[in-house]
Amino acid sequence: MSSLPSLSGVKNAAQAINDIIEETPFQYNERISNKLNCNVYLKREDLQQVRSFKIRGAYNKINSVVDKARKNGVVCASAGNHAQGFALACSSLEIHGQVYMPITTPKQKIEQVKTFGKNYIEVELNGDFFDDCQSIAIDFAKKNNKIFIHAFDDIKVIEGQGTTALEILNQFDKHLDYLFVPIGGGGLISGVLTVFKELSPKTKIIGVEPSGAQAMIKSLKKGKLYTLTKIDKFVDGAAVKRVGELTLKCCKKYLDEIIHVHEGKICKTILDLYNKDGIVSEPAGALGIAGLEVYSHEKIKNKNVGVFICGGNNDFFRISEIKERALLYAKLKHYFILKFPQRSGALKDFLNKVLGPNDDITFFEYSKKNSRTNAPAIIGVELKKQDDLKPLVEKMKKHNFFGEYINNKPDLFQIFLENT
């Protein structure tokens, strides 16, 4: 791949997709603006028909090869949002398509793909991660002479995503100082960079990755494509092991800065958006705002700041996990292995002598061992304040309940969480 996406290509894409996409608002958010002492505007791609920006790139690409696509069919691999855009594009253009999705994809996204694709789409679940799934899909496309529609590493896809940037510049009549853009494979930010570096070069573009999947950060540091061996797949719309060749070139050439943000912070942002703004965001959709909130407040003070909410396809069966991760990040949820005496009244003693007045037990698992004086108990405690942890641990030790604190033991803690 030698050439890069172009501004003229983005403008052509805007015309091609005009009848299929919504022009989403660039919306002032008073709460976040007041919190950060700047002017924050949200690009609401969660308001697309497919609830993400992905329809733009998928439709632009398929439309550019429409005759061959109708003859041979098309294939894509996706963790959810690209698949939904792909499905809507296929049904709109009356083209048969096959969608490969990771086995871990939320059920809500799978059902939405089938809804948007109507009778033109077949869904196959393969692989635990996007990258594994993509390899299977590419192999299938080659063997069956079908066109593979890449989720991000394709000029036409990138130019389609870049139409979001054209909209922002048409909607906003002031100078935009910063724009925070989430990064998964890099298709959206590459399209945004293509437009802004031509039409608004003084706007600083800040890329944001999840801490558990820093594929672009690692690749930029090494100066070449780098494949992560392990990722946290929680931010499913942005958790890739390897970014694209094209998207890396775009970021190397144009990107001003890139940061990463903890998954727990992303979860807190999701809850804040829902509870305080009435906005339903998926983890990748909240990534940009989470990044903005951990960015230097001094740099953005009194500035005009744009942020993408790139998707709203959240599976509400995940809400308990989102709340759990948010509390852990805020250091308000703690887990312990206790040495529990095997005698009558031990639990009462623990409640009366150890727990503080505002401490709440959220998890308790205990199995009595008849041949022992003590038996292990796993307990989860939610605190009102971070400072309540120290006196809680001190009282556990004083009354001989303390065994082990497991929040700071990643391997043990992860095994525990996956089995609760």
User: Domain tally for the chain?
Assistant: 3
Mean pLDDT calculated for residue range 121-142: 90
Is position 92 within any domain?
yes
Confidence bin at 136 (pLDDT 50/70/90): very high
User: What is the pTM (predicted TM-score) of this model?
Assistant: 0.91
Which residues, at least 6 apart from 246, have a Cβ–Cβ distance to it below 8 Å? 1, 4, 5, 153, 154, 155, 158, 190
In terms of domains, do 282 and 414 share one? no
pLDDT band at 1 (very low <50, low <70, confident <90, very high): very low
* Residue 1 maps to a domain: no
Judge whether 2 lies within some domain.
no
Q: Residue 150: which domain range?
A: 54-154
H/E stretch holding 89 reads: helix 81-93
The stretch 390-411 carries a mean pLDDT of 89
- Token couple for 406: 């497991």
Tens-digit pLDDT profile for residues 219-232: 999 999 999 999 99
Statement to judge: residues 193 and 317 lie in one domain: yes
Return the sign of the alpha-carbon dihedral for residues 55, 57, 59, 60.
positive
Reported as a pLDDT band with limits 50, 70 and 90, residue 418 is low
Residue 239 sits in the same domain as residue 381: no
Which CATH number fits the domain that encloses residue 212?
3.40.50.1100
Do 114 and 22 share a structural domain? no
Give the CB-side neighbour count of residue 87, counting CA atoms within 13 A: 28
Residue 75 and residue 145 in one domain: yes
- For residue 315, the cross-strand partners are none
Q: Which has more pLDDT, 34 or 70? A: 34
The yes-or-no verdict on residue 413 having pLDDT over 90 is no
> In this structure, are 195 and 278 located in the same domain?
yes
Q: Which of 272, 307, 324 is the endpoint of a domain?
A: 324
Query: Where does a domain end: 324, 351, 371?
Result: 324
pLDDT tens for 160-215 read 999 999 999 999 999 999 999 999 999 999 999 999 999 999 999 999 999 999 99
Residues 88 and 208 both lie in one domain: no
What percent of the chain is modeled with pLDDT above 70?
Answer: 96
Question: Over the stretch 276-320, which tens digit does the pLDDT of each residue have?
Answer: 999 999 999 999 999 999 999 999 999 999 999 999 988 777 888
Q: Are 48 and 91 in contact (CB under 8 A)?
A: no
281 and 173 part of one domain: yes
pLDDT greater than 60 at residue 147: yes
Q: How far is the first Cα of the chain from the last one, in angstroms, to the nearest whole number? A: 46
CB contact set of 50 (below 8 Å; sequence gap of 6+):
81, 84, 85, 87, 88, 112, 116
Q: Which residues pair with 178 in a beta bridge?
A: 204, 305
Mean pLDDT, to the nearest integer, of 13-17? Answer: 98
